[in-house]
A = this chain, B = another copy of it.
Amino acid sequence: MPYVNIKITREGATTEQKSALIKGATQLLVDVLGKNPATTVVVIDEVDTDNWGIGGESVTKLRKAVK
């Protein structure tokens, strides 16, 4: 019955990668806590890089600074 929410920046994760996150997170709850996968929910939020900050700067600015 667990609920897992994964937030990542929106930078081109593919459908296959998102499927792998869903499968992997569900399996993790099965392996560690013996949870029932049938009622384990995973929700992925993709967030624009303008809307995600770390160290006081948006990821958009951080990406530019690294180039």
Residues of A within 8 A of B (CB): 1-9, 13, 15, 17-29, 31-33, 35, 37-47, 50-61
Some 14 contacts from A to B, beta carbons below 8 A apart, are: A1-B9, A1-B52, A2-B6, A2-B7, A3-B6, A3-B41, A4-B4, A4-B6, A5-B7, A15-B58, A19-B53, A21-B33, A26-B55, A40-B54
Do B23 and A57 have beta carbons less than 8 Å apart? Answer: yes
Across the two chains, which residue of chain B brings its CB closest to A36? B55
Nearest B residue to A31 via CB reads: B24
B28 touches A40 (CB 8 A): no
Q: Which residues of B contact A13 (CB under 8 A)?
A: 33
